[in-house]
Chain A
């Protein structure tokens, strides 16, 4: 297949990537043409870098060209990378028959260069390729430098071209040891609106009029492109929301021409669910169980159902024992309040709101908003301070203290507290509270404790 054919075929398959496909094809040329030693493909995630490369090379692989795809995440050491590359080049698959062994043992660059020239050399003129996905993970090791220079190191023995794929710009890659050239850069930009619609047109469910589907996608894009431009996210939302959107049509509540009416019917799903779907707080299967949109359901009911669905998953923390909840709240207070104000807030016999409020206002002016503890995050506190606050906020008297220590330990195990002092220290243990304000508020509500009265300098 000629280069031009491949180009048209790929451009059809990947809408909006025609320019990149052409650029790559002109760099790679025919299988026997020499190509640049290192090509760096970059662009934000979900812009089709890997899939374009994969289908591009599937055309090359028909001939003698050998292509290895490895991932920087999987191959975190030099040895893994080298061995996997050799496996792929040699067409060797670890399986039961060969006792899951690799093609060759290879743990240093010297071995790799020697094996590669053995494997790929031999007078053939084809260029062979090594495609490294998520190449940014390889930084900090010497592997990256050697990959950039691989064609130079192999010299005349074999034609090898390395293609690095990453979401990070090349500026952040500059290798420490000089002597390596900058690779040829190929940029994959984000899809524009028209391109996004082209891509999503492929997703149109069978039997649906595509014009109608695209109007829906267009409307959804207008809403969501402000917080995320990723095509993947949009596809997810479309796949989730479209069935709800067309449901009234099948139920005879509305027709396809009444677009705005359909939107109105779907409104509760849009407003209540979109953020939760976007954040994956509701899983796909849970979502599909929610009753389909129809004029029979009242909007408030739908919103209520969706909120309950999302909250249900995060409620594990609410199952703590009564005193442990207090302990957690005490930990939160200890993490965010300055210790010098403990006397005012927690000393017995004083009304925390009377004195605390007054001081609070002054301090607000003095501190300024940008470096409040609320924004800086939790600080470490000593266990003794935690206990003091705990006994002060628990209303009734408690007798045994052994139980409390166990509870602290279990909070640490649950990662609600983090230990900041060394593990082998038995006294003077310091902890941090790992829980956010919203959760703490919910917990305090469940034990009828007003946490906001005790918080210093919060907004």
Chain B
């Protein structure tokens, strides 16, 4: 992933002598929206509805002409187009936006410059031939930090107080120095270094460590003006924790039993199962255990509706997900992913009472074991059952 802050480079040169038009492939999803926004950014207040009917290039030339006439001395101020998410813009039908922009830039009648920013390295292949031939083929590639040291220095630069900031905000030099020294100490400590190298090995995403440090830096206050290892520690611990296990660590015993039943169903070779099967598994285990323990029954076998309610909490947490068959998917498109409850299928042709809808457990057997071993308040029998 290319660093997006790369786009901040041209912003510094924001002299008033030229216009900047920012387009983002993410929000400007079609040419018409883009054109309207170009007009808005170029401060054209005229009603555009009538010209928008024609082709893109007609309308665009019209806008540029308008610019030319409204500008001083008949000349037009230069316009810089910054196209973010270039690859998405290239996916518009016919690429007429890009074609027009490149064509005008190349014809040298109007002073415009086009700057595209994208994360895709093969973006040139997306362009049509006629668009590609008008492209200047000037590419600048920005990569992630190559070495761990570079990576650490990103964090250091982000955290330290720079000399330019010192002058602007009148921070005393002594304070800045102590602050920077503290940051250096922090970054050379064992804990932080091992964390940074872990992030570096996994994703090289500088934003992740910056996010961690922002959370830590937000603890800075008037009383504690320096970065401190004590602030960073809990944040790093939080980052490392698995959110799913966290949320599961406090579920009720019945929920846990249902999860274990599902695990044992998986282990006996069922890839999908419904509530009835899970409950049956739970009941068989409980009755077996009750016979074995013969009277040591501190555990109660819950009735089916109670278990169903517990099952629905699991569904709500998306630990258990309904299986959406491919037939249903093709019927409804991909819009089904937004809702997740057992009744989501009812509108989509999966006509079965909710006890019988097929579901899947979103946990590995190993995770279930880990979960069980973390808990101290559960009966030994259940633990043994989980380890089977």
Contacts and interface: CB of A to CB of B under 8 A. Distances in A.
B238 interface: yes
B252 A140 contact: no
A36 B216 CA distance: 12
B336 A140 contact: yes
Interface string B2-46: 001000000000000000000010111100010011001000000
Given A42-B243, A168-B317, A178-B1, A370 B268 contact: yes
A286 B305 CA distance: 20
A284 interface: no
Contact of B317 (A44, A182, A279): A44
B253 A226 contact: yes
A240 interface: no
Interface stretch (A107-115, A248-256, A298-306, A358-366): A107-115
B318 A375 contact: no
Contacts of A113: 27
B352 A377 contact: yes
Contacts of B219: 26
A40 B208 CA distance: 15
Please indicate which of the listed interface residues B4, B88, B268 has the most CB atoms of chain A within 10 Å of its own CB. Answer: B4
A43 B247 contact: yes
A309 B353 CA distance: 25
B339 A278 contact: no
Nearest to A149: B26
Given A149-B26, A370-B277, A27 B218 contact: yes
Interface in A118-164: 136-141, 145-146, 149, 152-153
Interface string A393-432: 0000000000000000000000000111000000000001
A278 B309 CA distance: 9
B276 to A, nearest CB: 4
A230 B251 CA distance: 9
Nearest to B277: A375
B303 interface: yes
Interface in B272-312: 274, 276-277, 280-281, 284, 300, 302-303, 305-306, 309-310
A145 B4 CA distance: 16
Given A26-B219, A181-B211, A376 B274 contact: yes
A418 B252 contact: no
A22 B277 CA distance: 44
Nearest to A28: B218
A228 B309 contact: yes
Nearest to A233: B309
Q: Is chain A's interface secondary structure helix, strand, loop, or mixed overall?
A: loop
Contacts of A179: 1, 4, 26, 85, 119
Interface string A343-383: 00000000000000000000000000111001111100000
Nearest to A278: B306
B254 A227 contact: yes
A227 B85 contact: no
B353 to A, nearest CB: 6
Nearest to A114: B40
Most A C-beta atoms less than 10 A away, residue of B27, B265, B302:
B27
A140 B338 contact: yes
Contact of A177 (B26, B28, B300): B26
A339 interface: no
Given A226-B252, A370-B268, A370-B270, A136 B211 contact: no
B274 A377 contact: yes
A260 to B, nearest CB: 19
B173 interface: no
A378 B355 CA distance: 11
A168 to B, nearest CB: 5
A292 interface: no
Contact of B338 (A110, A138, A275, A374): A138
A227 B306 CA distance: 8
Given A26-B219, A27-B215, A375-B277, A185 B243 contact: yes
Interface string B322-366: 000000000000111111100000000001110110000000000
Interface string A218-237: 00000001111110000000
Interface residues of B, number: 64
A228 B28 contact: no
A185 B214 CA distance: 12
Given A29-B218, A369-B280, A418-B351, A169 B244 contact: yes
B178 interface: no
A377 B355 CA distance: 8
Contact of A136 (B276, B310, B340): B340
A139 B338 contact: yes
Contact of B303 (A139, A146, A275): A275
Contact of B351 (A26, A169, A181, A432): A432
Contact of B276 (A171, A226, A377): A377
B338 to A, nearest CB: 4
B189 interface: no
B265 A370 contact: yes
A454 interface: no
Contacts of B250: 44, 189-190, 192, 229
A94 interface: no
Contacts of A184: 211, 214-215
Contacts of B162: none
B28 A36 contact: no
A185 B238 CA distance: 9
A225 B377 CA distance: 11
Contact of A139 (B214, B215, B337): B337
Interface of A: 26-27, 29, 36, 42-45, 108-110, 113-114, 136-141, 145-146, 149, 152-153, 167-172, 177-179, 181-182, 184-185, 187, 189-190, 192, 225-230, 275, 278-279, 369-371, 374-378, 418-420, 432, 434, 436, 459
6 contacts: A178-B1, A227-B306, A279-B305, A371-B270, A376-B277, A377-B276
Given A190-B250, A370-B268, 5 more contacts: A110-B33, A181-B211, A185-B238, A187-B246, A275-B306
